[in-house]
Structure 1
């Protein structure tokens, strides 16, 4: 384990140093849409090299291996139409040796790769490395050359870096971009410890279908697969005891509205060696996952961190809904905050035994409570209480999230609460379970496990948790 941790740190340091080669740490986040696809492509190139070498051992030469892969793309996971002058040279050398019109050349190669691989279309070919603003290159050839050279210093093939380690390092890079991304960071990134708690508490089992309607860079979906593997590597969680094949991966589904972030999520899935279906579009107005009847598809588990307090949805967006997301008696939230509208969408996306974890602004738990009269948000919240759908509420520490210092809560929903939990809610106040960090606070592993154990075991602990009756 210590050796793996050392590998993680080594690759994380290298990947961040490579990102900073453009203009230093301060400006690196501005260039994330260039840096992430290039590192992703380096991984593709090195893995493709490994696959070519495997084929070459059987057919006698790399030249023949290139020809076979070109003729039958099924021999490799991703076929890359980058052929060095000397077939013995690494595939990445085609990009590394660009010396003139580098931005144009990189863009051409990225688009060629995407044309050969439908799964990568819109993901690595959407960025123009030769783009200009007001006549100035957004990323000039000198800086692009520095980035390519920095990325070239480490091999990222199958034998060099395991999928989980390169995946962790890629997530680390996304986190570093979030740290420098200010307000925009919350649109694509949830702090890893929050995602770990959510996925650990939901206890996803092999083969389950997991959905994130606001998936950002895909981190919450990735965390669910990691926690599934972690849980089922324990002998106590055997296939016999669960009735499931312990090796079966989760089926991951997500939707993201921002094209750049949608591309990031897809790259994140592939680099973790996970298969996920990530759709692009506005989930609230046009959710892409439907059943045969055109209604919302339902899932075993739902995880989400929707943007807090969205105020751009009109009443018509709720009134005209044909997907049964806003049931009679529940109503829908007012225009000032869509928080509970997202919870309603999530609830409608859960199957009969479904469970969910959703991150919300702390105000979502109390807004409107002091009003003597009717309050739309309070009415929706009361509907969830009356229908016994809220299992637990976790109050988080301050200054964890990258776009705010506010603490946030995690709302845990369960459509099939056990008998002993019916009519009750577990409240967990983890506001003091953190360590100071720079620039953000964080929850250490011991704190993550303590919080998760409390939520899973549904236990009361002094100064941490208590169980309350609905009445």
Structure 2
């Protein structure tokens, strides 16, 4: 089947709507509603004969039958009605709104969606179309969607290192648009990692993935993204909860957790004071299963992820630099993590790879272990893919190939065969291990470890191109501003 016309049509219509001020996010939102309704209509007919729960008069046929102002009024009513329904239907349409004010263009979009048999279309095609729109939406800095989009090259490398096995559960407590789920699904479906039997395929489709996403529109996109990749069922229950994962302990434990929790240091909530003014206050989660009580949501996510794991469960989680060196609750969490889990690997990431700018991040890989008086971590392997590494989102984006050396050094399933690339004779080696005692003896048990020399300080000839340098300077300034905002927020809170 020639799929190029479908892809071209979807993208060209997006361009048409952008001329009317409809951004990628709004287009993606409306496309999600319409594709879901069209798929529900296709499933209601032979040979499927399945009901998704769409009431008569608010179905695909009702949209196709109207034009002009009547269509616009009916579409708004349809969105509102379907958002009150239970199950997957209600999750997709919760808090839904019409963002296309021109009824003629709305009808053209309906007609375009109607021209495709979405159920029969290959998952790779419809999934790639949707993923492409998600990435375009993340690039639109005004929309703020970048905070929910993790670079797919990084996700692929993390999944490759975790090497999930069939028949095991995978969770993400802040799943965004579902990037980790899709990468794990592709990994498990890849014949190179062993074929799946019928029961394993059924488990992968229906029982493998569990997530939380509190932002309604992001959760909607995650569910549609998974559905278009043939994960779950259109008439089944949602595997993505709208609840805040940090509020209570997870009702079940999982074999794997893959996550990139939201950027930002503090959790806060808004409220109206006695004078009728809006104020914000730090949100602290008092959990008996947490090692430390703090308003730092990154530290809370690390503690929560550890609590989500089975006794032999494994995790890979993206965290900002402050998790590696912050004192107080940060030191407590690090020491407990080193004691109760095998925190065996830390990947240091460069700036210029996330859509939220100025982010300095790392990936922690740790395996849960049964309770023991002895520290479970014996040594931590660090891979420094930050020092002397220069990436920008547009001119030099990070690809999977850039992380291939790290994946090779990681040696998934054969970690006992790891070998350092750093030595006294090879001081530029990026792969180096530190023993537990060395790390615990550091100030505040800091894991903010680096050993490579910054060549830009001594080698002027090998400086990056001026445009890349300019982007890096902007990133550093924005990171500094974000740090100042955090300090200001703390000072303001202390004065109240």
Residues 385 and 226 of structure 1, relative CA distance in 2, 3 Å threshold: same
- Asked if residue 140 in structure 1 is aligned to residue 102 in structure 2, the reply is yes
Q: Spell out, residue by residue over 1:356-405, the C-alpha distance to the aligned partner (whole angstroms, 9 max, x if none).
A: 1111112322234xxxxxx3212221221233431211112321111124
The residue correspondences of 1:44-63 to structure 2 (distance < 5 A) are 44=39, 47-48=42-43, 52=45, 54-55=46-47
Residues 217 and 312 of structure 1, relative CA distance in 2, 3 Å threshold: same
Residues 239 and 103 of structure 1, relative CA distance in 2, 3 Å threshold: closer
Q: Spell out, residue by residue over 1:258-303, the C-alpha distance to the aligned partner (whole angstroms, 9 max, x if none).
A: 122222222222222112611112221246x41xxxxxx2110111
Aligned to 2:469: none
- Asked if residue 362 in structure 1 is aligned to residue 331 in structure 2, the reply is no
In structure 2, distance between residues paired with 1:78 and 1:433: 53
Aligned to 1:395: 348
SS in 2 for 1:443: coil
Q: Is the 8 A contact 1:285 1:317 kept in 2?
A: no
Q: Count residues with an aligned counterpart.
A: 401
Aligned to 1:105: 74
Residues 110 and 99 of structure 1, relative CA distance in 2, 3 Å threshold: same
Q: Is the 8 A contact 1:397 1:432 kept in 2?
A: yes
In structure 1, distance between residues paired with 2:173 and 2:406: 25
Residue 112 (structure 1) shift: 6.6
Residue 256 (structure 1) shift: 1.1
Q: Is the 8 A contact 2:35 2:118 kept in 1?
A: no
* TM-score, length-scaled by structure 1: 0.73
The residue correspondences of 1:217-232 to structure 2 (distance < 5 A) are 217-230=177-190
> Structure 1 residue aligned with 2:246, among 261, 266, 284?
284
Aligned to 2:284: 317
Residues 248 and 282 of structure 1, relative CA distance in 2, 3 Å threshold: closer
In structure 1, distance between residues paired with 2:93 and 2:287: 35
In structure 2, distance between residues paired with 1:25 and 1:393: 46
Cα RMSD for the two superposed structures: 3.6
In structure 1, distance between residues paired with 2:103 and 2:66: 10
- Asked if residue 17 in structure 1 is aligned to residue 16 in structure 2, the reply is no
Aligned to 1:88: none
SS in 1 for 2:17: coil
Aligned to 1:60: none
> Structure 1 residue aligned with 2:24, among 9, 25, 29?
29
Residues 29 and 79 of structure 1, relative CA distance in 2, 3 Å threshold: same
In structure 2, distance between residues paired with 1:209 and 1:245: 12
> Structure 2 residue aligned with 1:444, among 385, 399, 402?
399
Q: Spell out, residue by residue over 1:66-86, the C-alpha distance to the aligned partner (whole angstroms, 9 max, x if none).
A: xxxxxxxx73264666799xx
Residue 43 (structure 1) shift: 5.2
SS in 2 for 1:406: coil
Q: Is the 8 A contact 1:206 1:247 kept in 2?
A: no
SS in 2 for 1:157: coil
Aligned to 2:490: none
> Structure 1 residue aligned with 2:125, among 165, 177, 197?
165
Residues 83 and 246 of structure 1, relative CA distance in 2, 3 Å threshold: closer
In structure 1, distance between residues paired with 2:436 and 2:301: 23
- Asked if residue 470 in structure 1 is aligned to residue 433 in structure 2, the reply is no
Residue 111 (structure 1) shift: 6.0
Q: Is the 8 A contact 1:332 1:380 kept in 2?
A: no
Aligned to 1:180: 140
Residues 405 and 312 of structure 1, relative CA distance in 2, 3 Å threshold: closer
The residue correspondences of 1:35-434 to structure 2 (distance < 5 A) are 35-41=30-36, 44=39, 47-48=42-43, 52=45, 54-55=46-47, 75-76=49-50, 78=52, 95-101=63-69, 102-110=71-79, 118-124=87-93, 126-129=95-98, 139-152=101-114, 154-159=115-120, 161-182=121-142, 184-230=144-190, 233-234=191-192, 237=194, 245=200, 248-249=203-204, 251-275=208-232, 277-286=239-248, 289-290=250-251, 297-312=252-267, 317-318=284-285, 320-322=286-288, 324=289, 326-327=290-291, 331-333=292-294, 335=295, 337-368=296-327, 375-416=328-369, 422-431=377-386
Aligned to 1:67: none
In structure 2, distance between residues paired with 1:389 and 1:439: 37
Q: Is the 8 A contact 1:353 1:414 kept in 2?
A: yes
In structure 2, distance between residues paired with 1:78 and 1:214: 27
Residues 118 and 344 of structure 1, relative CA distance in 2, 3 Å threshold: closer
